[in-house]
């Protein structure tokens, strides 16, 4: 398992009864987590003194309950700053477990010793984009949501990266990749964090299990001859790390050689030192 254990402004304090107690900077949140199937004593006082609690509905979805939580606040990771705000379906605009991937590919970019071009698809609020840009890469950031791209640009400004070489694009990721292939564009690294289900800006439907293989076949062709890495993330139930390893092995390593590894990503839990699983990642590297 790859563990995001370098945070100072974020931590999972405790987990119990389908929920996790988290510290986001100066604020405590309680959010549901489907992996927390145990019901252990809630000894941390934060369970009773939280600033925000997302209550899941038995009918699906849910709603926030606030206890003095501001509408927006910021936390930092290394030399990056992220603006947070609670919004639909329990999210805050950041997935802290992805920091372990940021550190991994940032090292590859810095070690390359040459100009590096990165493509970030389904790029959300830009955590991976900012990490790659801070490491020295030129990044193409693509997401179908105009609001998410605007949020990512706000994070870039907060991190002092407004002038970094980033292309901010609101587009359907599949159609963009198809156009890039026709244009002959090539990238030294590709980051992909596709949703289990989603819609493009014109109503295009995306389903992970049905569409990911064809997208990987397509985007593998966008890798340069000296490509550094390909990162595929998954939060889709049923897509185990071995599946991601197989997909990258067939679509990327089968074409370019190199090495593929895959595993769960997770966050340490302060209460007991155990690791909370938070999805899976597959990594391809040239060497």
Look at residue 278 and tell me if it is in a domain.
yes
On whether the CB atoms of residues 171 and 144 are closer than 8 A, the answer is: yes
pLDDT value of position 181 = 98
In the chain, what percentage of residues exceed pLDDT 90?
Answer: 89
In this predicted model, what pLDDT tens digit does every residue of 243-276 receive, in sequence order? 999 999 999 999 999 999 999 999 999 999 999 9
pLDDT value of position 199 = 73
Same domain, 41 and 102: no
Q: Is 79 helix (H, G, I), strand (E, B) or coil?
A: coil
Average pLDDT over residues 221-227: 97
Residue 225 to residue 203: CA distance in whole angstroms: 34
pLDDT value of position 287 = 79
- The pLDDT confidence band at residue 201, using thresholds 50, 70 and 90, is low
Query: Worst-scoring range by mean pLDDT, 98-102, 145-149, 204-208, 279-283?
Result: 204-208
Contacts of 220 (CB under 8 A, 6+ apart): 230, 251, 252, 255, 256
Mean pLDDT rounded to a whole number for the chain: 95
Same domain, 147 and 199: yes
pLDDT value of position 32 = 96
On whether the CB atoms of residues 195 and 239 are closer than 8 A, the answer is: no
Average pLDDT over residues 100-117: 98
Look at residue 91 and tell me if it is in a domain.
no
Same domain, 31 and 101: no
Element (H, E) at 127: helix 127-134
Residue 43 to residue 256: CA distance in whole angstroms: 51
Same domain, 133 and 258: yes
Same domain, 121 and 234: yes
Instruction: Concatenate the DSSP letters of all residues of 152-204 into one string.
Output: HHHHHHHTT-TTSSEEEEES-HHHHHHHHHHHT--BSEEEE---SEEE-TT--
Same domain, 70 and 161: no
Domain with residue 273: its CATH number is 3.40.50.150
Residue 80 to residue 75: CA distance in whole angstroms: 9
Domain of 196 in residue numbering reads as 96-285
In the predicted structure, residue 202 carries a pLDDT above the cut 80: no
pLDDT value of position 70 = 96
In this predicted model, what pLDDT tens digit does every residue of 38-95 receive, in sequence order? 999 999 999 999 999 999 887 778 999 999 999 999 999 999 999 999 987 899 999 9
In the chain, what percentage of residues exceed pLDDT 70?
Answer: 99
pLDDT value of position 200 = 66
Residue 73 to residue 85: CA distance in whole angstroms: 7
Same domain, 57 and 121: no
- The pLDDT confidence band at residue 207, using thresholds 50, 70 and 90, is confident
On whether the CB atoms of residues 119 and 190 are closer than 8 A, the answer is: yes
Same domain, 198 and 248: yes
Helix crossing, 241-248 with 208-220: angle to 10°? 30
Instruction: Concatenate the DSSP letters of all residues of 254-286 into one string.
Output: HHH--EEEEEEEEEEBTTTS-EEEEEEEEEEE-
Average pLDDT over residues 109-119: 97
């Amino acid at each position: 398992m790859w563990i995001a254990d370098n945070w100072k402004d974020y931590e999972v304090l405790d987990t119990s009864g389908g929920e996790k107690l988290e510290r986001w900077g100066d604020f405590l949140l309680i959010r549901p987590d489907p992996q927390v199937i145990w019901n252990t004593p809630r000894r941390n006082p934060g369970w009773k003194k939280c600033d925000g609690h997302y209550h899941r509905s038995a009918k699906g979805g849910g709603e926030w309950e606030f206890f003095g939580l501001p509408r927006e606040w910021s936390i930092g990771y290394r030399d990056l700053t992220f603006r947070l705000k609670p919004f639909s379906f329990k999210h805050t605009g950041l997935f802290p477990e992805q920091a372990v991937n940021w550190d991994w590919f940032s090292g590859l970019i810095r070690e390359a010793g040459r100009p590096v071009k990165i493509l970030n698809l389904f790029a959300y609020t830009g955590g991976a984009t900012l990490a790659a840009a801070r490491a020295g890469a030129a990044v193409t950031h693509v997401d179908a949501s105009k609001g998410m791209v605007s949020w990512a640009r706000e994070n870039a400004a907060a991190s002092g990266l407004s002038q970094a070489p980033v292309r901010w694009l609101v587009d359907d990721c599949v159609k963009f990749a198809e156009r890039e292939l026709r244009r002959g564009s090539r990238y030294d690294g590709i980051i992909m964090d596709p949703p289990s289900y989603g819609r493009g800006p014109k109503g295009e439907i995306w389903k992970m299990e049905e569409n990911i293989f064809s997208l990987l076949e397509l985007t593998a062709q966008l890798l340069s001859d000296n490509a550094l890495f390909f990162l595929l993330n998954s939060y889709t139930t049923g897509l185990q790390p071995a599946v991601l390893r197989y997909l990258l092995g067939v679509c990327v390593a089968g074409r370019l050689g190199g090495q593929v590894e895959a595993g769960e990503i997770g966050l340490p839990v302060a209460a007991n030192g155990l690791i909370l699983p938070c999805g899976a990642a597959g990594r391809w590297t040239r060497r």
